[in-house]
Each structure stands twice: as C-alpha cells, then as structure tokens.
Amino acid sequence: MAGDAMNDRRFRLLLAPLILALSACGGGPKEAPPLEGARIGGPFTLTDQNGRSFSDKQLAGKWRIMYFGYTFCPDVCPVDMANITAGLKAFEASDPARAAKVVPIFVTVDPARDTPAVLKQFVSNFHPRTIGLTGDAKTMEGVEKAFAIFAARKEGSTPGSYLMDHSRQTYLIDGEGKPIALIPADESGKAVAELLDKWVS
C-alpha cells in the first residue's frame, strides 16, 4: 500500500510539468474577444462589385474584415484600405492557412455614387479577395445601423458636389458572424497583421 502511494505521488510529480506545458500551449483559459457579446452586425443581402446579389450567408465559415467607406473619399478610405491589404498580405506570408479564411469587405456609405462598376474599379486596387458591397439607400441605412456606423452627406461648395462624413471603425467578424475586435486600419499594416494573428483561428 505504501509503495502504491509512493508511486502515485511520483506519477503526479511527473505529470505536473506536462500539465503546465499544455496550459502554456493554449490549453488554459483564453482571453475573451474585446467585442464578445456586442450587438454588432447581422444578416444582410446587398449587391457586390460584379452586380450580383451577395448575402452574409456566402461568408459562412469565413473571417471578415468589415470596412465602411466610399470610393470618392479623398484621403482616409484609400489609406485605411491600403493598410488592411498590407496587413492581410503580411499575415498570409506568416500563416497562409489561417489567412486564407479572411475576406476583406468594403461596404459603401455612398450608394448614390458607388455603383457596382465604380466599386469594382476601386476594390481592384487592393487585396484580390476584397468584396465591394452596395445597395439602395434604405437598405444601406439598415446595414449601417446594424453595424453602428454613422454616415451623413456633407454638401460641397459647388452644386451637386458632396463628401460623406462617416465613422471609421473596422470590424473583425468571425466565421459565425460574431464580432471579435476592432481592426486598427487607421494605424498601419503591421498593426492589422498583429491583430489578425491574435484572433483568427
């Protein structure tokens, strides 16, 4: 009996480092996503840059980078999209398998001007998997509301000219359509890559 107890104790002592090692390799509790449980997103059916109907169901199992902007944006939107592209390409270089699950999506806040043809030309400047989405004004307002996006037309100095004031948050959405984190597209490609590497599974 004493020998059995001693052997059991030795077994537990030998097992302890293994349990610790497994915990360090991800077996322990993981950090909760910053946007876990947030009421952001939802189902949608819009029109893509090829003029085809496109719904969120077509993204099942894919991680999404959701960016809201407009093609006539003079400075901010192209820079943010360039950072998203650079970040995703860097992530592809370090982990092609996980990066292949990520789809960048550009959703217009200016549907009056951003027709599928205009979107197609715009998104062709960025990552080849980028999807451009548009729709009628009422539908786009609903999508903006679902994703907590502010957008408002700001009249220009000449008749018919205008810019769009809009919020700039970029969302990382998982394969089930759940919000995970805000992507720092306004910072750098490196920051985007680091966030993707942290959360995409």
How far apart, in whole angstroms, are the C-alpha atoms of residue 57 and residue 64? 12
pLDDT of residue 19: 36
Q: Is 73 annotated as ligand-binding? A: yes
Residue boundaries of the structural domains of the chain: 1-30, 45-199
* pTM score, whole prediction: 0.84
How far apart, in whole angstroms, are the C-alpha atoms of residue 56 and residue 17? 45
Q: Is 25 annotated as ligand-binding? A: no
Bridge partners, 190 (sequence order) = none
* Stronger pLDDT, 186 or 26, i.e. the higher one: 186
- Which percentage of the chain shows pLDDT scores above 70? 86
Q: Domain 45-199's class?
A: alpha beta
Q: Is the per-residue pLDDT at 52 higher than 70?
A: yes
pLDDT of residue 117: 98
Residue among 115, 141, 140, 126 at smallest CA distance from 65: 126
- Average pLDDT for the chain: 88
Residue among 171, 173, 124 at smallest CA distance from 148: 171
Summarize pLDDT for 96-130 with one digit per residue, the tens. Answer: 999 999 999 999 999 999 999 999 999 999 999 99
Q: Is the per-residue pLDDT at 5 higher than 80?
A: no
Segment 195-198 long-range contacts (CB within 8 Å, at least 24 positions apart) = 195/87, 196/87, 196/88, 196/91, 196/98, 196/99, 196/102, 196/172, 197/91, 197/94, 197/95, 197/98
- Counted residue by residue, the chain has a size of 201
In the DSSP assignment, the letter for residue 26 is I
Lowest pLDDT segment from 17-26, 31-40, 58-67, 141-150: 17-26
How far apart, in whole angstroms, are the C-alpha atoms of residue 152 and residue 155? 10
